[in-house]
Chains A and B, each alone.
Chain A
Amino acid sequence: MIKALASKALYSISILWGVITLCFILFYVFPDAEDMMVGQRADLQTKQAIKEELGLDKPVFIRYLNYLKQLSPIGIFSKPDIPKNWYEISLSENNSIVFKNPELGRSYQNRRSVVNILMEALIGTLILAGVAMTFAFIIGILFGIIAALNYQNLIDSLLLFLSTLFISVPSFFSSIIIAWLFGFIWYQYTGLPLTGSLFSIDMESGKQVLTLSNLILPAIALAVRPVAVITQLMRTSVLANLESDYIRTAKAKGLPPYLIILKHTLKNALNPVITAASGWFASMMAGAFFVEYIFNWKGLGKVLIESVQMSDLPVVSGGVIYIAIIFIIVNTLVDLSYKYLDPKLR
Chain B
Amino acid sequence: MKSKTLFDKIWDGHVVRSIEAGPDVLYIDRHYIHEVTSPQAFNGLKERGIPVFRPDKTLATADHNIPTKDQHLEIKDALSRNQVEKLSENCSKYGIELFGLNHSRNGIVHVIGPELGYTLPGMTIVCGDSHTSTHGAFGTIAFGIGTSEVEMVLATQCIMQPKPKKMRIAINGTLKKGVTSKDIIMYIISEISTGGGTGYFVEFSGSAIIALSMEARMTICNMSIEMGARGGLIAPDETTFSYLRKLPEIRGVKDLESSINEWKNLKSDSDAIFDRELEFDAADIKPMITYGTNPGMGMAIDASIPMPADKPGESSSSYLKSLDYMGLKPGMKLLGHPVDFVFIGSCTNGRIEDFRAFAQIIRGRQKASNIQALIVPGSKRVEEQMVAEGLIEIFKNAGFEVRQPGLLLLSGNE
Q: Do A and B come from one complex?
A: no
Chain A interfacial positions (CB closer than 8 Å to B): none
